[in-house]
Amino acid sequence: MLKFNEKNKPEKVNLAGLRILVVEDGDDNQEIFRRFLEAAHGRVSIATSGKDAIELFPSEAFDLILMDIQLPEINGYETTREIRKRGFPGPILAVTANAMKGERERCLAAQCDDYLSKPVNFERLFKMIQKHCQVKLDQDQQVILSDYQDDPRVAPLLEQYAKGLEDKVNRLHTSLVEQDWTTIRTISHQVRGSCSHYGYPILEGYFEELEEHAMQDLPSPDQMKKQIDFIEQLKDSIGSGLTMTHR
């Protein structure tokens, strides 16, 4: 089982937009991975077996896979090889309870990119993610640039779009206090549809998650506050990106 302690808790880690598949059969381990990765704003999916993981490809898109090696039936080595055959090009990080000599070499031979032993040290894991996914860690503020930042047809509209986002985020905060789930759903749906048009696909996924949460029978105000607060951070990062390009 994975272990948690305060020394194992990384600080100021931002995995925003990173789509992560965790292949792990243990319920407790799944929950710990999810909590750490989502706390860092990663987008986490869980596969509970090698078979379930393999069936996700090639239709699903991920940026990173965390692969438990000691899986039942189809082990992590075989699962990794099959996922590679199906065209996944991204990093696969092996997670194994086997600390015996030669285990790292066996993982690399199976086409994993790196190796981490259990109990997992999450500080080390995040540094490994930084290495393989070029994720910036220990950053006070992330700068987000539009895919169309240099397009003369779209660039003049981006500042206006950012100001509109500020108004919508303020309305989300107000609606949350009033527990007006309908308005939160409506705003999330509208913004989700416009994000890709203005070149901010990273925002689209988070507004989609907020919309889905607001559609639940009993939405959690605490969870939605975390989502809205993080969306506000991304909105501020967009503003920083526009300021930077005007210098």
User: All domains of the chain, ordered by start, with CATH?
Assistant: 6-133 (3.40.50.2300), 155-245 (1.20.120.160)
Say how far apart CA 176 and CA 30 lie, in whole Å: 30
Full strand arrangement of the beta sheet holding 92-96: 43-47, 19-23, 64-68, 92-96, 114-117
Who's near 115: CB < 8 A, 6+ residues apart?
93, 94, 96, 103, 104, 107, 108
Per-residue pLDDT at 5: 43
Per-residue pLDDT at 139: 43
Per-residue pLDDT at 246: 53
Report which of 43, 48, 52 is spatially closest to residue 18, judged by C-alpha positions.
43
- Contact in structure between 97 and 83 (CB atoms under 8 Å): no
Who's near 31: CB < 8 A, 6+ residues apart?
none
Say how far apart CA 53 and CA 21 lie, in whole Å: 8
Per-residue pLDDT at 6: 43
What's the one-letter identity of residue 4? Answer: F
Low-confidence residues in the chain, pLDDT < 70: 1-13, 99, 134-143, 240-241, 243-247
Per-residue pLDDT at 137: 43
- Length of the chain (residues): 247
Say how far apart CA 239 and CA 234 lie, in whole Å: 9
Per-residue pLDDT at 2: 53
Per-residue pLDDT at 100: 75
